């Protein structure tokens, strides 16, 4: 597998600073491919576009994500590697997605429990959140390693968010743009500011959306019987 020279590292850092946010992801790919790919991580806009595109045409979305944010090797070299190993774009895109926070272990969505608080939230701070909620339900939402406290939204806000999301799904674009402001508004505590958390890992909007829906009662089991 290729090892970057000092000159190549400097060139990558220069381009990452000039064209992206200054960050670079080195992705060594093992056998049988045995290549090193370096890309810029997804920002919020790029991840939103990728997420929409993946639903419509996954293979095109993988390639576009790779080529749009490629830092190493050059395009011609990458094209030759991809011609030999056509699974390469998907492998890289999935790593980019994982680095953006799109890992889906078991979701956390449960009423806030003073006896089982998320890491970083003290009992005193939790009690204050409960007091400030004025009777509104508070839930712990997220995934292991990333948990926030969310306040139940007003029914009209919950219904509007679901309707706008369903419309974005039908259109095939704009899902994250629709849900982002609603989940941010519902979050009352995170271990780090929610804006920073979603800027660093934009895909983490999804576990928050899952929690938002659960707070409204979505997913509750029902069973019908005749009286």
Boundaries of every domain in the chain: 6-99, 108-215
Res 21 pLDDT > 90: no
- What is the CATH topology of the domain spanning 6-99? rbstp2171 (3.30.2220)
Res 104 pLDDT > 70: no
Cα 145 off chain centre by: 13
Q: Per-residue pLDDT tens for 151-172? A: 999 999 999 999 999 999 999 9
pLDDT at residue 223, as a whole number: 82
In this structure, of 25-34, 95-104, 112-121, the range with the lowest mean pLDDT score is: 95-104
Closest CA to 66 of 49, 51, 86, 88: 88
- pTM to 2 decimals? 0.85
Could you tell me the pLDDT band of residue 30, with boundaries at 50, 70 and 90? very high
Could you tell me the pLDDT band of residue 7, with boundaries at 50, 70 and 90? very high
* DSSP SS3 for 99: helix
pLDDT at residue 2, as a whole number: 87
pLDDT at residue 105, as a whole number: 67
What's the length of the chain? 227
Retrieve residue 217's tokens.
């009662």
What is the pLDDT averaged over residues 106-112?
92
Res 17 pLDDT > 80: yes
d(CA 24, CA 160): 38
């Amino acid at each position: 597998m290729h090892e970057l020279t000092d000159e190549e590292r400097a060139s990558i850092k220069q381009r990452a600073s000039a064209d992206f946010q200054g960050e670079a992801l080195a992705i060594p790919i093992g056998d049988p491919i045995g290549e090193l790919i370096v890309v810029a991580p997804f920002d919020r806009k790029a991840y939103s576009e990728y997420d929409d595109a993946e639903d419509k045409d996954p293979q095109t979305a993988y390639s576009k994500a790779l080529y749009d944010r490629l830092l190493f090797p050059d395009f011609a070299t990458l094209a030759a590697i991809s011609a030999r190993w056509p699974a390469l774009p998907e492998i890289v895109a999935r790593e980019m997605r994982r680095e953006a926070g799109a890992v889906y272990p078991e979701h956390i969505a449960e009423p806030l429990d003073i006896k089982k608080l998320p890491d970083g939230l003290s009992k005193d701070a939790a009690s204050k959140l409960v007091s400030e909620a004025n009777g509104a339900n508070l839930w712990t939402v997220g995934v292991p390693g990333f948990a926030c406290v969310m306040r139940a939204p007003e029914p009209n806000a919950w219904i509007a968010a679901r309707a706008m999301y369903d419309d974005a799904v039908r259109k095939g674009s704009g899902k994250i743009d629709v849900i982002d402001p609603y989940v941010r508004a519902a979050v009352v505590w995170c271990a780090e500011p929610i804006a920073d958390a979603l800027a660093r890992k934009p895909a983490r909007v999804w576990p928050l959306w899952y929690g938002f829906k659960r707070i409204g009662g979505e997913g509750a089991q029902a069973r019908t019987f005749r009286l």
